[in-house]
Structure 1
Amino acid sequence: MKKLVLTGAAGRLGSYLREPLSQLCDEFVSSDIADNVSNLAQNETYVKADITDLDAMTTLLEGADMVVHFGAVGDEAPMDVLWGPNFYGAYTVWEAAYRNKLRRVVYASSIHAVGMHKKTDFIGIDAPHKPDTFYGLAKCFAEDLASLYWDKRGLESVCMRILSCAQPTNSRAVGTWLSYDDLIHMVERAINTPITGFSVVYGVSNNDRAPVDNAKAQHLGYRPKDNGEQFAAEIYSTDGPLDPHDPANTHHGGPFAAVELGNSGMAHLNLDTDDTGKH
């Protein structure tokens, strides 16, 4: 394609995506609120822009074919913290995409949009929204916004409900792991699938214990290759028996399902200090 835009480019997952996405287009524009990013690709331009600024987003997306939207606060927080970047920021991206006649928005949604479903319920992409936090509620809002803009304005979207895109360090991650290679593969398929309409897909690797079903997202051609089972024996022996009555163990949202609204869920994920991002 001619021009592709990535928001949230200075974040951990955005940083992984920059190089592969630059190979899919003639002109690649990465954006975030950071002053700059390093190691720009030959065809990459970095633009500092705030996703809560509709005019800035409209300018950013001018002439683009698609936008990959990863910009947001990446953890549970009080509503007044999330309202701008996670709620209104989603609106500005879709509205700017519509005003610029983009074909598609590829969105980093999250398992937390359905995080209060029980893990023993093998949910599909059509599971009703059941957010576990204000953060998850923002993902529900953006998914519904995506659906609305497709139904009323013909703007395609792929909403990727990412589970755990970080090195597995806990029992939950054996099933919810999304490897970085599979993340890149999923985003590429969300971009290059000819027709998507409004689509939802779970961002999870080919794990033996994956707790979600992508059967109704087969049209995207997302075929993950990595498997979290390789971590099972060591992690399970370290964690020991889990409390079967703790919502952090029994619900799709993990610790996000157990924390009080407005309190960090990330703080309970036991992630490596050098690998702390999650959507």
Structure 2
Amino acid sequence: MKFKKLVLTGAAGRLGSYLREPLSKMCDELLSTDIAEEIGTLYPGESYARADLAKFDEIHPLLEGADMVIHFGAIVDEKPFEELLGPNFIGSYNIWEAGYQHGVRRIVYASSIHAVGMHKKRDFIGTDAPHRPDTFYGLAKCFTEDLGSMYWDKRQMESVHLRILSAAQVNNARALGSWLSYDDLIHLVTRAIDTPSVGFTVIYGVSNNDRAPVDNAKAAFLGYRPKDNAEQFAEAVLADTPAADVTDPAEMLQGGPFAAVDLGQSGLAQMTIVDDRKKT
């Protein structure tokens, strides 16, 4: 099925860079947006509009005529609440409300494991696990999941919330369970778009890892069947990894380093994320 118009927020980000090309092939018009000045060479059918998620009057016109929004725009780290309020909280409201006013059918949202980051990894939580945010960043994900649920219940506007664990190169022991490859990310977003009916759905964004700490069984109807497995990196990663400290929240909880930092303090600063965004 080919759509008339899709909108991608966060198009200048690392994950957005891998989504632009496949999304452009799913529609006649892909409108990519971010706060960056530009995003490189555009794909056939793609246009770019600079806009601030926190400003409704900038977001509202972009969604006119859109079938769906793939909402990946946000500050992607823990920050003081006041810094996250505009892009991560108000920005989500602006997307949902503008989408509703324009008759958008569905929103596919980049949620995060940090919405449930204070759950223990050993509990192997499902998609119905109660919210336990590990940070203000995770709280914004909880807010947006609840926003999507409310707009479905009250206004029959569909949404799929992708609780991404870690879509980055596997260079630490946690990532052996949490890795989401870019190919599996594209497959996940595609299934969230082309499944005929989704209502309000939550699904974990994780590859087919032997050590995955979450259960997607209740979202199986989406047809997401990841192919990649982080176990291929295990020998090299574990050779350089000391024994786990079972008293360290970063080791034992779903949120990893985000579960251990103080509120408002960067979680990414405790990680080694390689910026390998796709170049155009």
User: TM-score, length-normalised on structure 2?
Assistant: 0.97
Runs of 4+ in 1 over 2 A off after TM superposition: none
1:187 shift after superposition? 0.3
Structure 1 match to 2:226: 224
Per-residue deviation, 1:275: 4.0
Distance 1:36 1:259 in 2: 33
What residue in structure 2 maps to residue 65 of structure 1?
Answer: 67
Corresponding position of 1:140: 142
Structure 1: where are the runs of 5+ without partners? none
The one-character-per-residue Cα deviations of 1:92-130 (angstroms, maximum 9, x if unpaired) are: 000000000010000000000000000000100000000
- Aligned counterparts, 1:199-218, within 5 A: 199-218=201-220
Q: Does 1:109 align with 2:111?
A: yes
Distance 1:249 1:81 in 2: 27
Structure 1 counterpart of 2:71, one-letter code: H
Listed one character per residue, the Cα deviations across residues 144-175 of structure 1 (whole Å, up to 9, x for unaligned) are 00000000001000000000100011100000
Out of 147, 150, 153, the residue aligned to residue 151 of structure 1 is 153
Structure 2 Cα separation of the partners of residues 258 and 240 of structure 1: 18
Which residue of 1 is the match for residue 175 of structure 2?
173
Q: Deviations over 1:20-68 (max 9, x none)?
A: 0000001110000111111201100100111111122110000000000
- The residue that corresponds to 1:41 in the other structure is 43
Q: Name the SS for the 2:123 alignment partner.
A: coil
Rounded to whole Å, the distance in 2 between the matches of 1:42 and 1:163 is: 31
Aligned to 2:185: 183
Q: Percent of aligned positions with the same letter in both sequences?
A: 66
Partners in 1 of 2:23 and 2:152 — Cα distance? 24
For residue 249 of structure 1, the aligned residue among 248, 251, 257 is 251
Task: Give the letter aligned to residue 21 of structure 2.
Answer: E
| 2:197 is the alignment partner of 1:195 | yes
- 2:256 counterpart of 1:237: no
33-42 vs 157-166, greater mean Cα deviation: 33-42
Task: Give me the CA root mean square deviation.
Answer: 0.8
Q: Distance in 2 between matches of 1:45 and 1:210?
A: 37
Q: Which runs of 5+ in 2 are unaligned?
A: none
The CA distance in 2 between the partners of 1:75 and 1:275, in whole Å, is: 17
2: distance between equivalents of 1:157 and 1:271? 28
Structure 1 CA distance, aligned partners of 2:50 and 2:59? 10
Name the SS for the 1:209 alignment partner.
coil
Residue 56 (structure 2) aligns with? 54
1:126 aligns with 2:128: yes
1:86 alignment partner in structure 2: 88
Deviation (angstroms), 1:203: 0.1
